Amino acid sequence: MPRILVVDDDPISRQILRAMLEKEGHTISEAEDGVKAINNYDKDRIDLVITDIFMPEKEGVQTVRELMKENPDVKIIAVSGGSSSANYDSLDWVKMFGVKHTFTKPFNSKEIIAAIDELLSN
């Protein structure tokens, strides 16, 4: 059963993703910031990370960079709230690090499930 780490400072966003992903049969681990995400990644034997971009402590771009540096094969989906240009710029930025799928909140559950299925099948 694939293990997914959901990283978001908003507990409601984590809860929504948890419910959606558990319904699909995934095991979920949670972190409310990038510091905890990096600590949990190896400890929990994570198969895929879904991370928010804007968070306290360690934001998403920095978290993505560190995870990819330490684990070049890590599979990551990045999400960001709102429609400001900063959100889109940050999502474009993480794509330069190798993140294949990015979504703005609110995202379409079918699209994110399809992205997860694609990444986990590779």
End-to-end CA distance of the chain: 15
Give percent of the chain above pLDDT 90: 68
pTM: predicted TM-score of the whole model, two decimal places: 0.91
* Segment 61-80 mean pLDDT: 93
Please tell me the chain's helix, strand, coil percentages from 3-state DSSP, rounded to the nearest 5: 50, 20, 30
Domains of the chain by range and CATH? 3-121 (3.40.50.2300)
